[in-house]
Amino acid sequence: MKLISYNLRKHRAAGELTELVDAHGADLLCLQECDTDDIPSQIGDLRLADVTHRNRLGLAVYYRVHMYQPIEVRSIGLKKSLHDRVLKPAEERMLGVRLHDIDQGRDLVVASFHAAPLTALNSLRRHQIRAALEELGEMGEKNLPALMVGDYNYPVFKEHLSQAIRDQGYELTLSDTRTYTRYRYFRGYYDFATSNGFDIDHIRTLPQGLSDHLPILVSARMTTPHVRHRPADAVA
């Protein structure tokens, strides 16, 4: 399975999506910072599963129609940062879709995620990530394979984040090169994946377009998921 995740930077890179999907043979597409009133229902062979509806700049998930059937969609709001309270760019920061893999006869969960911006504390973003993963774990039968990709806004201290994610039974996987280039002192790895029940073959950073984020291409295979848990001392 090939999945592309892309932060469109206030919808500026929306015109690149058809070429991007076709060039890399994407089976799934997860978007952040898209104008949900101005995105098509179809991009190449991918169909829109759903979008967030309460955001100024929203999330979207597309799927390949011959590979998957959508079963359930869930979007949630997460703990707000001061930036969210003042400017209100995003009420919903996670959009999860439960899909049925037609060939394998199995269900899986895929999600697009956008954490609070750098003006917030890492502790708040960890709280958002934890809450989003807990929500995905409640979609469908227990322990469905789950893959959440997007803009985590977490350029430093990722070892702490990685441990917090492992405590929930997920794995954190970074791309091969940095994914954010706009500000000199904030360049780094912002866009990556958390997963359970997937072997991530690799995550490749694709060439930069009109966005300040570079799209990432995730190549993954479903495996038997690990039992997820939330220990009493999980990092908040």
Please, is 85 exposed, middle or buried when counting C-beta atoms within 10 Å of its C-beta (0-12, 13-18, 19+)? exposed
| pLDDT (mean) for 201-207 | 96
Digit-coded pLDDT (tens) for 15-53: 999 999 999 999 999 999 999 999 999 999 999 999 998
Digit-coded pLDDT (tens) for 164-194: 999 999 999 999 999 988 765 567 888 999 9
Task: Count CA atoms closer than 13 A to 84's CA, side-chain side.
Answer: 21
Nearest to 218 by CA among 199, 234, 197: 199
pLDDT at position 216: 97
Mean pLDDT estimate for the chain: 88
Using 50, 70 and 90 to split pLDDT, how confident is the model at 122? confident
82/111 Cα distance (integer angstroms): 24
Structural domains of the chain sorted by starting position, each given as residue range(s) with its CATH number in brackets: 2-222 (3.60.10.10)
